[in-house]
Amino acid sequence: MELDKDLSARQEARTLARAAESAQRILGEMPQEKLDAIVEAVAKAFEKEAFSLAEMAVRETGFGNVEDKTTKNLFASRQVAQAVRGMKTVGLLRQEPGLWEYGVPVGVIAAIVPSTNPTSTVCYKAIIALKAGNAIVFSPHPKAICCTRQAVQIVAEAAERAGAPKGSVSCLTIPVLAGCQELMAAEPVRLILATGGPGMVKAAYSSGKPAIGVGAGNGPAYIHHSADVSRALARIIRSKTFDNGTVCASEQSIIVEKALEERVIAEGKRQGCYFMNPEEAGRLAKLLFRPNGTLNPEIVGKTAIFLAEKSGFSVPRETKVLIAREQEAGPARPYSMEKLCPVLAFFVMDNEEAVLEKCVEVLTFEGSGHTFAMHAEDEGVIRRFAAKIPVSRFLVNTPAALGGIGATTALFPALTLGCGAVGGSSSSNNISPLDLINLRRVAWDKEKSEEKPASMDTGLVEMLTEKILQRLEKQLPTEGNGIP
């Protein structure tokens, strides 16, 4: 029975990839204005269904909450659409003497959708793909098959009504690994856009196709002594509780110097943080990760209250975030890893230099190239850390979950965040339509394009000018004052 399902999934992947290839040939001939109209139609249709899709996603996956998932859906349909509005992606993009640059679609894109963002990712990836003249085939997570398929259907129908050919946007319907693997390997697929767990991202890069994938997020948040501690903690708590901690850019630890420890603990407690004792932290650690070291999917996107109760200890009803003491990073230290729920590690270091070293240690263990958050008013220390921290997104005085995706910062609004070479990713960008095109360059012969009078030596020019003036003085009649 499983074999039959795998065979059916593989056949479906090949069929959808071929249909997408035919559709893309038509999309690839469309002018920018037509692609823009398709994108606008997709964004408006998705925005209307933002709440219903959020409800469906929470009901199906059990991750996060409806309010924040609605916000993510609106982010994908409003902010992403706004960011690409007016952006040139196809045709002649740049022209200068001797060089023209044309934007060319990459072709058919295979898009992996995570269970943590199963609907907003669909809208975001469809917009950036269609904007660049590409067709896209989605591979949903088995835990989110229904809501992802519904999101894809809304996008596909809106795109087709606006003039996109059938097959421009499609989705696998049999949620098995064989189908996803077949899609990534399908001959018409030219690029894989992978958002998901480390295993899925690794599979994308191992497929033999060009891929843009993202690694694990494990960003520390450093509260410097120059920061407003109350505001810093409010931002961190807002970020860590947003959709119950399912955004990969959200903070995974707080790091402070010893001198700030008591203030941070007192203010944290006032704002709803619960600092666990060693026994409680040990119980929760056993729940967070499975014996093989992988994150337990049953804790993803759950509330702090749920996690405490599941671990066998009670916390005040107003508790928003659970915090555990930590001093080291590594596989035997579960709190030093990415935790997709409202749980944070708390590092206390002797001085600023020790903080910098610990941040690098944490990120080197997990999260290199992803995101780091800093709360400070001292620009000098911000510059110092920015030169040393191995991340692609260095966020200052903002909730990391929202700042990293570009909701509260000037970064491109995106739900796929590249980690650069240090993080095993092919890009360090917040992925945009410009990452989904190739550039065709028309280059002219330099001798022809740079034809111009040869330049003269400055001294020679001055000497010739003086000689000409002397001759003029001899040849022209003069007034009494000697001026011609």
Q: Catalogue the active-site residues.
A: 248
Cβ partners under 8 Å of residue 98, min gap 6: 443, 444, 446, 449, 450
Q: C-alpha distances in angstroms, 466 versus 102, 453, 454, 479, 481?
A: 50, 22, 21, 21, 20
Nearest alpha-carbon partner for 53 in 118, 114, 136:
118
Q: What dihedral do alpha carbons 304, 306, 311, 316 form, nearest 10°?
A: 60
Distance CA 103, CA 303 (A): 45
Dihedral sign for Cα atoms in the order 261, 264, 267, 272: negative
Tokens of 331: 């596989």
Q: What dihedral do alpha carbons 380, 383, 384, 389 form, nearest 10°?
A: 150
Distance CA 48, CA 73 (A): 10
Q: Is 346 exposed, middle or buried (0-12, 13-18, 19+ CB in 10 A)?
A: buried
Q: C-alpha distances in angstroms, 409 versus 79, 101, 419?
A: 12, 30, 18
3-state SS of 49-94? Answer: CHHHHHHHHHHHHCCCCHHHHHHHHHHHHHHHHHHHCCCCCCEEEE
Distance CA 370, CA 262 (A): 29
Nearest alpha-carbon partner for 191 in 413, 69, 17:
17
Tokens of 395: 């966020």
Strand (E) or helix (H) holding 355: helix 352-365
Distance CA 85, CA 33 (A): 11
Name residue 91's beta-bridge partners: 103
Tokens of 462: 């001055």
Distance CA 482, CA 484 (A): 6
Amino acid (1-letter code) at residue 183:
L
Distance CA 483, CA 181 (A): 89
Instruction: Say whether 140 sits in a helix, a strand or coil.
Output: coil
Distance CA 380, CA 471 (A): 63
Are 209 and 190 in contact, with CB atoms under 8 Å apart? Answer: yes
